[in-house]
Structure 1
Amino acid sequence: MTTASPAMGTRLPWSGLLALSTAAFTAVLTELLPAGLLPRMAPALGVSEARVGFLVTGYAVASFLAAIPVTAALRGLPRRPVLVGTLLGFACANAVVALSSSYALTFGARLLAGVMGGTMWAMLAGYAARMVPVERRGRAIAVVLAGITLALSLGVPAGTALAGALGWRTAFGMLAGIAVLLVAWVRWRVPEFPGELPGARVPLRGVALLPGIPAVLSVTLFLLLGHQAMYTYVAPFAAHAGYGRTDVVLLVFGVATVVGIWVTGLLVDRWARPTLLGALALFVAVMCVLGLYGDSPAVLLGAVAVWGAAFGGAPTLIQTALVNASGPEHADVATSLQTTVYNAGIAGGSFTGGVALSGWGADALPWTALPLVAGALTVVVLGGRYAFPAAPADIGRRVNSPCAQGR
């Protein structure tokens, strides 16, 4: 297939975008599936459940460490072969996990999968942005990132149930098969785009300092710090509220995130800044409600639903802002920076919430998350036109400006 230019019609290239969304779904399911299979995998690998849990940790660390250097090393290569290579890497890694009885070999396969994940996350949003005209960019990114939400809310529970019925090795074998089928889908329906020409490459530091990029990365960090400080310890907080059904709480959150990303997809291309401000304001309000009235199960479930809807759309809005600030030509490198910041926010938020829980108890968790999420909201309010423009027309002017192109 020859190099494609962004579509100029009003319809989205659904088949190609859904292929990218399925790739996101597969990556998230690959990362998180062992967490639900600890009792089944531990005896087969001859280790404790805690060490099986390290299979998730190893993936995350490899993704964190690989995102920037691997993306920088591959930025000059054509994009579709790189994407196909990451999918084949996922297929190999999951096939090894499905067949291995050695913990060391399994752990090595998980590290490989983590490297593939860090590389893929740096590509997906930029790829989607290059497939559509600028005025459809947000919706295209929303379609791709919906794969993450569906994996979290439906894929992981379904994968865990499948592993219970057919065995955990079958579940990983099916993930390997899905990745192979995705290779064919990507080659058929996802257009080819060139890599960055050597003379046109902006140094990594230059991409990080493009107008708007620092603000978007700051919002990413503050949001994930606040979210993870609360979400990681939702079970003890629910118990503190007198509601022991953590599974129901997580189900409510998951369904609400699907609603949130659907609504965001309708709004992001025309009202990105107001939608992001509204989502973050809702998030701040939820933390206040949970802090003041979270000991009521009814209030807890209602607040969690609003929290899920607000958080479900936030990644699409922030990712769209990042691609708009960097321009599609620098989006892979910018997203690799965001991937690193995202993982740092997850780790830092979980640590911060754990300190608060140990020191002050579960009722301190919302008040710990509140100033962090409020920090994200403040950055958006003060972020300026480069990071969070008020209108789509501003995006076109900015992307075409010499400053935005790194000249």
Structure 2
Amino acid sequence: MTAAPTRIDPPTAVRLAVLAAATFVYVTFEVFPVGLIHDIAVDLDVGVGRIGLLISGYAVVAGLVTIPAVALARRVPRGTALVVSLVFLVAAELLAAAATGFAMMAASRVAAALTHGVLWSLVAPAAAGLVPRERVGTATAVVFGGSSLAAIVGSPGTTFVGELLGWRTTSLLLAVATAAVTAALVWALRPRPVPGVPPGAGPAAGRPVPGVPPGAVNWPAVLTLCGVAVVLVLAHFLSYTYFALIVTEVTGAPGAVIVLLAVFGGAGAVGTYLVGRHNDRAPRRAAAVTMAAFAAGVGLLALAFVPAPAVVRSAVAVVAVAVWGGAFAAAGPVFQTGVMRLAGVGADRASSVYVTGFQVGIAGGSGLGAALVGQPVGRLPLISAVLALAVLTVVLFRRPVPGS
């Protein structure tokens, strides 16, 4: 039998890039309110905390519907389900652009959340099905690179465009971009044989993972890893939802929000690239380093609130945001690849549980942040750091990530 190639050929790379574009537009709309939270609140005549709840509410809906939605999506081809999820996103973005009040804005978030879990549960297995098993970690990192790019271009970009043209126009432009990605996805997911891999033998399309009996899912291990991910995501969104408030208070300059969002995203791209290089060879080591960097980043951001000259506080904030952004971007591929490796042929089902847990973490983090936002804002990264240290402890001693 011909050995599976260890490199990803150019046509496959293009298809992976389209899948990454799908995650890019979804994440960009998901965090759309973060950089424009003040503008949206003023326009809709509601409080900042209520706009923050648009993020936690989105996560609640996504968390509730992901498992049944993915079960329903399994009745149609994976590519069809992914395309439908993007069609829902286009509708949501158009609804947001037309929103005349908070209720319509909330409805737009619900519309996107309904298929959010479908996209995130299926996109990584779809990417894994395009490549040899030895490159699953790399393919997953490429797809998650779309979410990193959303942090580099999407979030600061929508903030910048929103300040120039208004947040409604920005949402309309997002709808146009999503429609283009949807058309590209139809092409990218056409059946195509992978050199050296028999049809249907991709990692997420019927080929079991070593150590997992054929047709079985190691649910205790999957649930443990998902639980660790929930805590880390909660720690992240506890602070990230109120990124604009934290950065403005630390630096004293509202304009620094766009700059540091770009720093966050740029570091995320670096983190995604690095984890893509190491996640296939040493996943446990990659997980430990990622969690340690996350804890260091949010911990350093908490220290930026200590009384000091403004230039020192700003410099600390830049370093903290860079480390934090790089680590969080790397965490996604680490957890998602780990779940697929533990699940074997049940990757779609296990991924739906993971995505549900991710949404629970988002809802818990942004909701807890909304409850604390009336207190000194420096408490948010401090609590995030404590939670991240707990995750690091579990990763080091419980070793929930499979591999070496």
Q: Same fold (TM over 0.5)?
A: yes
1:320 aligns with 2:334: no
Q: CA deviation at 1:123?
A: 1.2
- Which sits farther off after the overlay, 110-119 or 7-16? 7-16
Instruction: Report what 2:212 is aligned to.
Output: none
CA distance 1:90–1:382, change in 2 (3 Å): same
TM-score, normalised relative to structure 2: 0.78
Q: CA deviation at 1:260?
A: 1.3
Cα deviation, 1:310-337, whole Å, max 9, x if unaligned, reads 222111111111111112x322222221
Q: CA deviation at 1:114?
A: 1.4
TM-score, normalised relative to structure 1: 0.78
Instruction: Report what 2:352 is aligned to.
Output: 336
- What secondary structure is seen at the aligned counterpart in 2 of 1:269? coil
- What secondary structure is seen at the aligned counterpart in 1 of 2:31? helix
Q: CA deviation at 1:143?
A: 0.8
CA distance 1:236–1:26, change in 2 (3 Å): closer
CA distance 1:173–1:366, change in 2 (3 Å): closer
CA distance 1:285–1:55, change in 2 (3 Å): closer
Cα deviation, 1:53-99, whole Å, max 9, x if unaligned, reads 66545433322221111112222321111111112222233234445
Instruction: Report what 1:388 is aligned to.
Output: 402
1:347 aligns with 2:363: yes
**How many residues end up aligned between the 2 structures?**
372
- What secondary structure is seen at the aligned counterpart in 1 of 2:219? coil
Instruction: Report what 2:234 is aligned to.
Output: 225
| Residues 302 and 379 in structure 2, CA contact (< 8 A), matched pair in contact too | yes
Q: CA deviation at 1:183?
A: 2.9
Q: CA deviation at 1:21?
A: 0.8
- What secondary structure is seen at the aligned counterpart in 2 of 1:389? coil
Cα deviation, 1:39-64, whole Å, max 9, x if unaligned, reads 766788x7546666665454333222
Q: Find 2:319's aligned residue among 293, 302, 306.
A: 302
| Residues 66 and 115 in structure 1, CA contact (< 8 A), matched pair in contact too | yes
| Residues 52 and 370 in structure 2, CA contact (< 8 A), matched pair in contact too | no
- What secondary structure is seen at the aligned counterpart in 2 of 1:387? coil
For 1:280, the aligned partner's letter is M
2 CA distance for matches of 1:310 and 1:127? 24
Instruction: Report what 1:269 is aligned to.
Output: 280
1:17 aligns with 2:33: no
Instruction: Report what 1:200 is aligned to.
Output: none
Paired-residue identity, %: 33
Q: Find 1:260's aligned residue among 257, 271, 277.
A: 271
Q: CA deviation at 1:343?
A: 2.0
Q: CA deviation at 1:141?
A: 0.7
CA distance 1:166–1:258, change in 2 (3 Å): same
1 CA distance for matches of 2:39 and 2:243? 25
CA distance 1:311–1:120, change in 2 (3 Å): same
For 1:90, the aligned partner's letter is L
Instruction: Report what 2:189 is aligned to.
Output: 190
Cα deviation, 1:180-224, whole Å, max 9, x if unaligned, reads 322321222224598999xxxxxxxx85x5252022112202212
- What secondary structure is seen at the aligned counterpart in 2 of 1:212? helix
| Residues 230 and 353 in structure 1, CA contact (< 8 A), matched pair in contact too | yes
- Which sits farther off after the overlay, 213-222 or 29-38? 29-38
1 CA distance for matches of 2:158 and 2:246? 26
Q: CA deviation at 1:279?
A: 1.6
2 CA distance for matches of 1:98 and 1:358? 29
CA distance 1:88–1:234, change in 2 (3 Å): closer
Q: CA deviation at 1:227?
A: 2.5
Q: Summarize the alignment of residues 92-171 of structure 1 with structure 2, pairs less than 5 Å apart.
A: 92-99=91-98, 101=100, 104=103, 107-171=106-170
Structure 2 gap segments, 5+ residues each? 192-198, 207-215, 307-311
2 CA distance for matches of 1:113 and 1:85? 11
CA distance 1:358–1:39, change in 2 (3 Å): closer
1:66 aligns with 2:65: yes
